[in-house]
C-alpha cells in the first residue's frame, strides 16, 4: 500500500483496551486487592479546627477484640521523617507535614491516631474508645482575617500565616489604567471545591517476607513522586520500595499529592512486617483529600474607547488551608491564578499580586484546571462587563483583542509564552455552530416575554505538556518536565512499551499504544502498554497538568522510532538489501516492491534465538529495544472558547443550561473519542464549580459538607449535551504536534456559565462575582436588585 | 466477637452458603467474602450508585443493605453480565460509545441500566438521564453514557419487537 494512503492509527477512534476488564468487573482497583493476612487501618481524626493535643488515651481501645496496635504521633513520627514541600520562591514558608498530627491539630479531619486491626469493622469499633483531650485554639477560618496579622498563627513557628507572596508588573499599569476610557473592576470570589473522584483514596502496602521489601499499591496519579518521597521519609532503599498505581478510579488532581495516610500505611507495613490496607470512606475524602479554587480576587481592567485592552491589575488572596502540600507547595493554585489572568489577549500592562494564606482547613492542592478556572472566571467576567459598558458584543470584544497570526509566540504579562494556537478560529467556530446572531435575536424575544435567558462566552489559553524549563508548580525543585519510554520487542516478537506515567481514566493504555503502533509500523493490538509502576522506570513522576499525551506521547514516539530503526537494520541484514528498501507496516517487515516479508516474531527469533544468523560483532550491537527521554522544554499552548446558553427559572432560581459548545484547539488528536470524553467530563466538573460544588466550613472550622448529599456533584440531569468542535492544528512545539487537553473543560465552564447567568440577569443590572452560583446566592442577588429598584 | 448467622444466596447463578456477622454490609460481603470486587463503593451512603446490584431483578444499593437481608435472594452483580471476551450487548454499547473512563462508576451504571431496560426500551433522552441520575460519574459528563444507553435501548427494542 502507498505510504500516504495507509490508514492512520493516530487520529483514529480506536476502542479502548481498558474497557473489557472494567466493563466486566475485572478491573484491579487498590481496594479490590486482598492479601492473605493483611491488616486494616482506621483513623481517628481531629474534631477541632485548631487545638493543642493534651492527652491521648488509647488503653481501652487497645484491649478490644482484633486490635493489633494503636499508634499516635509519639510512636509513629519516630519512624517517619517530616515531609517538607520545598520551593525556591522568595519568602516562601514551608510547613512540615507529619504522618500523624503532632502536638497541634490544624484542620477538622486531620489524622491523629491510627488503629491497626484484623478488619475494618473492628478498627472502627475501637475508634470510639479512644479519648483525646484538646485545648482549643483560635480557629483561623476567614482568609482575610488570617492574612491580617491579628489572627493567631496556624503554625506557631512561622513569621506569619502568609506562606507565599509574589508581585510582578509589566509595562506601566497605573499610567495605562488612568488613561483608560473604560474601566471595570470587581471583587470576585471562587469558593472552595474538591476533586471527588468516584474511587476514594486507597492504599495497600504489601510486605514481601523473602526480600523484606514493600510494594505500595496506591490510588495515586504520581507513583514516581510517591516512591521517591517515601524512600526518604522511611529511609528505605529504593529497590525495596515499589509504588504501583493499578486501575485508579479518577484523580483530577485529588490523587496527585502525597498524603499522611499513604505514609502511615507504608510505615506500619514496614514496622509490623505485614501487609496493611486503608481505604478512605467518602466522609474522610471530603475532609482530607486536597481541596482547591479558594480565592478572593480584586481585579480591574482598563480599555480604550474602541475596546482595546490597555491594562489589567489583579490582587489574589488564596486560602491554601493548613499545610503547604507535597510536592506542589501552597504556591501552586494562587500563583497560577495571577499567572494566567491575562488570558489569550494582547495586553501590554499587567500587574499581578498574590498571597497564599494558611487557615484551619484541609490543605489545598492541584485540582483540574489549577488556578485557571478562577483566573478565567475573573478575566472573562471583566471582558463581559467591559463589553456591556462599551455597548459592544462580547464575542466582538474578544475577537478584537485575541493574539493573532504573526504575534505568536506571544509573551503575556506574567511571562508565560503562548505558542501559535487558534484563539480566533475557536471562537468563530463556536459562534457559527450556535448561529450566534440568531441566538441573540431569540434572546431579545425571550426577554420581551419576561424569560431570563443568557448567553455566556469564555475564552482561555493554558500551558500544557510543560517541559523542564519551568516547573509544573512555581518554584518547586522537582523535575516535572521530562518523561521516558522504553520499548522492547522481546524474543517472542511481542512489543511492550513501558511508561512512567499513570492512567486513571485518561485512556493512556489505548492512546499510547496508538502512538507506538503508528510510529513502529505495527498493529495497535500488538502493543502492550505498561504504566504506573515505579519499578519499570529509573525515574518518572506521573500524570497531572495535562502532560501525559505530550510527554509520554513524545517519549513513546522517539523510542518507537528508535526500535523501528533497529528492526529495519536487522531486516536489511537478513534480507541482504539496503535499509532504504525495508518497510515496516502493520506488523510485517517487507522488502519494498517484492513479496519478500517476515513478521516480527520471525525477526525477533532471528535476532535473539537463532544461532548463526548474525556475526558475533553484529549480534553484540543488535537488540530490539530502546529507551528515550523527551523534554518539551517550554511546553505548548492549548486554547478554547466555550459558549453556554442558560435559562433561569424566576421562581426557583435554578439555572438550566440549554446549550453548550466547546470549540478547542488541542493540537493533533490521538483519539477523538477520548478527546471528546475528556472535554465532556471537564465541562461537567466546571458546571459543578459554577453552580453546585462548595466545601463549606463554619466559623469553627467544622465541615458542613461532609457527604455527597451536602457536597453536590452534578448528575446526569445537570449536565447538558455538549457540542465539541476541534481545530486540530498541530502544536509547533511538541513531538507529534500534540497539546495537552485533560483540564480545559473545567477551565472554561465556570466563566462561560457565570457570564451566561450575568447576561440573563442583565435587565436587573446584576453582576455575578461569586461561584458557585447557588440558587440561594441568586435569590439574594435578585431580591437585592428588586428591592433597590423599589427604593 | 459478634456471633455469626448463616445466609444462603444465589449470586450470578451460583449458590453460596456463608456465615456472616449481622452487621456486615451486603457490599462488603460480595466484595470481600465472595471476591466479587466488580461492585464498587463510592459513598457508603446510598448517594452515588456505584454499588448498585440486582436483587431479585430490581436494582438496589448494596451499601444500604445488610448481607443477612439478602438471605434466600437471587443477586446479580456486574460479573453476571457478559464475559471479558464476550461482552453483553449493553457492555458492548458502553465500549463503542466510550461511556467509561476510569471505569469506577461503570458497574453501578450497567446494573442500573440493565434494570431500566428490562422494564422499558422506548426511552427518551430525558428519561434516560432521569434514570441515570442516581448514579454519579465524575469522568464522562454522562453524554457518552446516555448515547450508549439510547443505542442499547434501541437494539433491545429492535430485537424484542
Ligand atoms: S456506595 Fe452505595 S450508593 Fe454510593
Ligand atoms: S468513568 Fe470514572 S466515575 Fe464514571
The per-residue pLDDT for range A656-709, each reduced to its tens digit, is 999 999 999 999 999 999 999 999 999 999 999 999 999 999 999 999 999 999
Residue A8 lies in a domain: no
Neighbour-count burial of A238, counting CB atoms closer than 10 A to its CB (0-12 exposed, 13-18 middle, 19+ buried):
middle
**CATH code of the domain containing A103:** 3.90.1170.50
Cα A63 to Cα A66, A72, A111, A124, B4: the distances in Å are 9, 16, 21, 14, 22
Is residue A114 located within the same domain as residue A39?
yes
- ipTM higher than the 0.95 cut: yes
Query: What does the alpha-carbon distance between residue A393 and residue A377 come to, in Å, rounded to a whole number?
Result: 18
Cα A695 to Cα A192, A290, A371, A542: the distances in Å are 5, 11, 17, 27
* Predicted confidence (pLDDT) per residue in A416-464, tens digit: 999 999 999 999 999 999 999 999 999 999 999 999 999 999 999 999 9
A719 touching B, CB under 8 A?
yes
Query: What does the alpha-carbon distance between residue A361 and residue B44 come to, in Å, rounded to a whole number?
Result: 24
CB A394 within 8 A of CB A457: yes
Ligand nearest to the Cα of A505, by number: 2
Pairing of strands A452-464, A636-648: antiparallel
**Alpha helices, DSSP H, located in A402-528:** 423-434, 436-448, 508-520
Neighbour-count burial of A551, counting CB atoms closer than 10 A to its CB (0-12 exposed, 13-18 middle, 19+ buried):
buried
Residue of A24, A504, A507 with shortest CB distance to B82: A24
* β-sheet bridge partners, residue B7: B18
Ligand 1 mean position, distance from CA A193 (Å): 21
Pairing of strands A655-665, A636-648: antiparallel
Query: What does the alpha-carbon distance between residue A499 and residue A735 come to, in Å, rounded to a whole number?
Result: 16
CB A474 within 8 A of CB A402: no
Chain B nearest C-alpha distance from A191 (Å)? 19
For position A1, what pLDDT does the model report? 52
Is residue A240 located within the same domain as residue A360?
no
* Predicted confidence (pLDDT) per residue in B13-40, tens digit: 999 999 999 999 999 999 999 999 999 9
Question: What 3-state DSSP class applies to A555?
Answer: helix
Residue A365 lies in a domain: yes
Q: Which residue of B has its CA nearest to A31?
A: B37
Smallest CA separation from ligand 1 atom 3, residue: B46
**Alpha helices, DSSP H, located in chain B:** 26-28, 89-96, 106-119, 125-132, 143-160
Is residue A65 located within the same domain as residue A205?
yes
Pocket mutation for ligand 1, best pick of B37, B63, B138 (most atoms within 8 Å of C-beta): B63
Mean pLDDT to the nearest integer, A468-495? 91
Ligand nearest to the Cα of A281, by number: 1
The pTM of the whole model exceeds 0.80: yes
Is residue A309 located within the same domain as residue A381?
yes
Q: Where in chain B is the domain with CATH 1.10.150.120?
A: 89-160
Interface test with chain B among A25, A122, A125, A721, by most B beta carbons within 10 Å: A25
Pairing of strands A39-45, A417-418: unpaired
Chain B nearest C-alpha distance from A631 (Å)? 27
Q: Which residue of A has its CA nearest to B132?
A: A716
For position A235, what pLDDT does the model report? 96
Ligand 2 mean position, distance from CA B133 (Å): 14
Residues in chain A: 791
Mean pLDDT to the nearest integer, A142-168? 97
Is residue A659 located within the same domain as residue A730?
yes
A677 touching B, CB under 8 A?
yes
Cell numbers at B63, concatenated: 451499601
Residue of B32, B87, B110 with shortest CB distance to A20: B87
Chain B nearest C-alpha distance from A570 (Å)? 36
Residue A476 lies in a domain: no
Q: Where in chain B is the domain with CATH 3.10.20.30?
A: 5-80
Beta-carbon contacts of A243 under 8 Å, excluding residues fewer than 6 positions away, are: A215, A216, A218, A220, A223, A224, A226, A227, A230, A533, A534
Number of domains forming the structure of chain A: 3
Give residue B159's pLDDT band: very low, low, confident or very high (50, 70, 90): confident
A 187-206 near B (Cβ less than 8 A): 195-200
Residue A791 has pLDDT above 80, yes or no: no
Query: What does the alpha-carbon distance between residue A136 and residue B100 come to, in Å, rounded to a whole number?
Result: 46
Atom of ligand 2 nearest to the CA of B139: 2
Smallest CA separation from ligand 2 atom 3, residue: B137
For position A32, what pLDDT does the model report? 98
The dihedral formed by the CA atoms of A103, A108, A111 and A115, expressed in degrees to the nearest 10:
110
Query: What does the alpha-carbon distance between residue A434 and residue A721 come to, in Å, rounded to a whole number?
Result: 13
For position A3, what pLDDT does the model report? 62
Query: What does the alpha-carbon distance between residue A619 and residue A574 come to, in Å, rounded to a whole number?
Result: 12
Is residue A265 located within the same domain as residue A122?
yes
Is residue A368 located within the same domain as residue A511?
no
DSSP string, A119-178: SHHHHHHHHTT-EEEEEE------HHHHHHSSSPPSSTTSS-SEEEEEEEEES-HHHHHH
Is residue A501 located within the same domain as residue A535?
yes
Chain B nearest C-alpha distance from A25 (Å)? 4
Residue A560 lies in a domain: yes
Residue A3 lies in a domain: no
* β-sheet bridge partners, residue A464: A636
* Predicted confidence (pLDDT) per residue in A192-217, tens digit: 999 999 999 999 999 999 999 999 99
The domain boundary, picked from A615, A630, A645, lies at A630
**CATH code of the domain containing A694:** 3.30.365.10
Ligand 1 mean position, distance from CA B41 (Å): 5
State whether A722 and B141 contact (CB < 8 Å): yes
The region that residue A451 occupies, defined by phi over 0 for left and psi between -120 and 50 for alpha, beta otherwise, is beta
Question: What 3-state DSSP class applies to A53?
Answer: strand
Is residue A611 located within the same domain as residue A638?
no
Domain that holds residue A424: 291-469+633-790
For position A268, what pLDDT does the model report? 98
Is residue A763 located within the same domain as residue A663?
yes
**The domain defined by B89-160 carries CATH number 3.60.15.10:** no
Orientation of helix B143-160 relative to helix A672-687, angle to 10°: 120
CB pairs under 8 A between A and B: 183
A34 touching B, CB under 8 A?
yes
CB B45 within 8 A of CB B63: yes
B87 touching A, CB under 8 A?
yes
Residue of A22, A504, A707 with shortest CB distance to B106: A22
Residue of A19, A32, A707 with shortest CB distance to B95: A19
Superfamily, domain B5-80: Beta-grasp domain (3.10.20.30)
Is residue A510 located within the same domain as residue A566?
yes
* Predicted confidence (pLDDT) per residue in A723-778, tens digit: 999 997 899 999 989 999 999 999 999 999 999 999 999 999 999 999 999 999 99
Sheet of A527-530: strand order equals: A527-530, A495-499, A483-489, A625-630
B47 touching A, CB under 8 A?
yes
Amino acid at each position: 500500500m502507498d505510504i500516504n494512503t495507509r490508514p492512520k492509527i493516530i487520529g483514529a477512534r480506536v476502542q479502548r483496551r481498558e474497557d473489557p476488564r472494567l466493563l466486566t468487573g475485572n478491573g484491579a482497583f487498590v481496594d479490590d486487592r486482598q492479601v492473605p493476612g493483611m491488616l486494616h487501618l482506621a483513623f481517628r481524626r481531629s474534631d477541632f479546627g485548631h487545638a493543642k493535643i493534651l492527652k491521648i488515651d488509647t488503653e481501652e481501645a487497645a484491649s478490644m477484640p482484633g486490635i493489633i496496635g494503636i499508634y499516635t504521633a509519639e510512636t509513629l513520627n519516630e519512624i517517619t521523617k517530616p515531609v517538607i514541600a520545598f520551593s525556591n520562591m522568595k519568602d516562601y514558608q514551608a510547613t512540615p507535614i507529619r504522618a500523624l498530627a503532632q502536638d497541634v491539630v490544624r484542620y477538622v479531619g486531620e489524622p491523629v491516631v491510627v488503629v491497626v486491626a484484623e478488619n475494618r469493622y473492628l478498627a472502627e469499633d475501637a475508634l470510639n474508645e479512644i479519648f483525646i483531650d484538646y485545648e482549643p485554639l483560635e480557629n483561623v477560618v476567614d482568609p482575610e482575617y488570617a492574612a491580617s496579622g491579628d489572627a493567631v498563627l496556624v503554625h506557631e513557628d512561622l513569621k506569619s500565616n502568609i506562606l507565599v507572596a509574589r508581585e510582578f508588573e509589566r509595562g506601566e499599569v497605573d499610567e495605562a489604567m488612568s488613561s483608560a476610557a473604560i474601566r471595570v473592576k470587581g471583587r470576585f470570589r471562587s469558593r472552595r471545591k474538591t476533586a471527588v473522584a468516584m474511587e476514594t483514596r486507597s492504599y495497600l502496602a504489601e510486605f514481601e517476607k523473602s526480600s523484606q521489601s514493600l510494594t505500595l499499591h496506591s490510588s495515586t496519579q504520581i507513583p514516581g513522586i510517591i516512591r521517591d518521597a517515601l524512600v526518604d521519609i522511611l529511609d528505605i532503599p529504593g529497590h525495596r520500595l515499589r509504588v504501583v498505581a493499578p486501575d485508579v478510579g479518577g484523580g483530577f488532581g485529588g490523587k496527585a499529592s502525597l498524603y499522611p495516610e499513604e505514609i502511615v500505611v507504608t510505615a506500619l507495613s514496614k514496622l509490623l512486617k505485614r501487609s496493611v490496607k486503608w481505604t478512605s470512606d467518602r466522609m474522610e475524602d471530603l475532609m482530607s483529600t486536597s481541596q482547591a479554587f479558594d480565592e478572593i480576587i480584586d481585579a480591574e481592567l482598563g480599555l480604550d474607547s474602541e475596546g482595546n485592552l490597555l491594562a489589567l491589575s489583579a490582587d489574589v488572596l488564596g486560602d491554601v488551608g493548613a499545610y503547604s502540600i507535597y510536592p506542589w507547595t501552597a504556591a501552586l493554585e494562587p500563583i497560577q491564578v495571577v499567572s494566567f489572568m491575562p488570558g489569550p489577549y494582547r495586553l501590554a500592562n499587567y500587574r499581578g499580586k498574590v498571597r497564599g494564606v494558611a487557615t484551619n482547613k484541609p490543605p489545598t492542592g492541584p485540582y483540574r484546571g489549577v488556578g485557571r478556572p478562577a483566573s478565567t472566571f475573573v478575566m472573562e467576567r471583566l471582558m463581559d462587563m467591559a463589553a456591556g459598558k462599551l455597548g459592544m458584543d462580547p464575542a466582538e470584544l474578544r475577537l478584537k483583542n485575541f493574539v493573532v497570526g504573526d504575534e505568536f509566540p506571544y509573551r503575556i504579562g506574567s511571562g508565560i509564552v503562548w505558542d501559535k494556537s487558534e484563539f480566533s478560529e475557536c471562537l468563530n467556530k463556536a459562534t457559527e455552530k450556535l448561529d450566534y446572531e440568531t441566538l441573540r435575536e431569540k434572546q431579545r424575544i425571550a426577554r420581551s416575554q419576561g424569560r431570563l435567558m443568557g448567553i455566556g462566552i469564555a475564552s482561555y489559553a493554558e500551558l500544557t505538556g510543560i517541559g523542564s524549563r519551568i516547573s509544573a508548580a512555581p518554584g518547586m525543585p522537582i523535575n516535572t518536565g521530562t518523561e521516558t519510554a522504553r520499548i522492547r520487542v522481546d524474543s517472542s516478537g511481542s512489543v511492550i512499551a513501558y511508561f512512567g506515567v499513570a492512567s486513571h481514566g485518561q485512556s493512556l493504555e489505548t492512546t499510547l499504544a496508538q502512538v507506538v503502533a503508528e510510529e513502529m509500523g505495527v498493529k495497535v493490538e500488538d502493543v502492550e502498554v505498561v504504566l504506573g509502576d515505579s519499578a519499570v522506570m529509573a525515574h518518572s513522576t506521573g500524570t497531572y497538568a495535562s502532560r501525559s499525551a505530550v510527554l509520554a506521547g513524545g517519549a513513546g514516539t522517539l523510542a518507537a522510532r528508535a526500535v523501528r530503526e533497529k528492526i529495519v537494520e536487522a531486516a536489511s541484514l537478513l534480507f541482504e538489501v539496503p535499509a532504504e528498501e525495508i518497510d515496516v507496516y502493520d506488523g510485517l517487515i517487507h522488502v519494498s516492491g517484492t513479496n519478500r516479508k517476515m513478521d516480527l516474531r520471525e525477526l525477533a527469533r532471528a535476532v535473539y534465538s537463532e544461532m548463526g544468523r548474525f556475526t558475533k560483532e553484529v549480534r553484540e550491537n543488535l537488540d530490539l529495544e530502546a529507551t528515550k527521554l523527551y523534554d518539551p522544554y517550554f511546553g505548548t499552548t492549548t486554547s478554547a472558547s466555550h459558549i453556554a446558553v442558560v435559562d433561569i427559572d424566576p421562581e426557583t432560581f435554578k439555572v438550566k443550561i440549554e446549550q453548550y459548545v466547546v470549540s478547542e484547539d488541542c493540537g493533533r488528536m490521538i483519539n477523538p473519542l477520548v478527546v471528546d470524553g475528556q472535554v465532556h467530563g471537564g465541562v461537567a466538573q466546571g458546571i459543578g464549580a459554577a453552580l453546585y460544588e462548595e466545601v463549606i466550613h463554619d466559623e469553627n472550622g467544622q465541615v458542613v459538607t461532609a457527604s455527597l448529599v451536602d457536597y453536590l456533584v452534578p448528575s446526569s440531569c445537570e449536565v447538558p449535551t455538549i457540542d465539541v468542535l476541534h481545530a486540530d492544528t498541530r502544536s509547533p512545539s511538541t513531538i507529534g504536534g500534540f497539546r495537552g487537553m485533560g483540564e480545559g473543560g473545567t477551565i472554561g465552564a465556570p466563566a462561560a456559565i457565570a457570564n451566561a447567568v450575568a447576561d440573563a440577569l442583565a435587565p436587573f443590572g446584576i453582576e455575578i462575582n461569586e461561584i458557585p452560583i447557588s440558587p440561594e446566592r441568586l435569590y439574594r442577588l435578585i431580591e437585592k436588585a428588586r428591592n433597590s429598584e423599589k427604593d | 466477637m459478634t456471633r455469626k448467622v448463616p445466609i444462603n444466596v444465589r449470586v450470578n447463578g451460583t449458590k453460596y452458603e456463608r456465615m456472616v456477622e449481622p452487621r456486615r454490609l451486603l457490599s462488603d460481603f460480595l466484595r470481600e467474602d465472595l471476591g466479587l470486587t466488580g461492585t464498587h463503593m463510592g459513598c457508603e451512603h446510598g448517594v452515588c450508585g456505584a454499588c448498585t446490584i440486582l436483587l431479585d431483578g430490581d436494582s438496589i444499593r448494596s451499601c444500604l443493605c445488610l448481607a443477612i437481608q439478602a438471605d434466600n435472594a437471587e443477586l446479580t452483580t456486574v460479573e453476571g453480565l457478559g464475559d471479558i471476551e464476550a461482552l453483553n450487548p449493553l457492555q458492548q454499547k458502553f465500549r463503542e460509545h466510550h461511556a467509561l473512563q476510569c471505569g469506577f462508576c461503570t458497574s453501578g451504571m450497567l446494573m442500573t441500566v440493565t434494570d431500566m431496560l428490562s422494564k422499558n426500551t422506548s426511552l427518551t433522552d430525558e428519561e434516560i438521564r432521569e434514570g441515570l441520575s442516581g448514579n454519579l460519574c465524575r469522568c464522562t459528563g454522562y453524554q457518552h453514557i446516555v448515547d450508549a444507553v439510547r443505542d442499547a435501548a434501541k437494539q433491545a427494542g429492535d430485537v424484542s419487537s
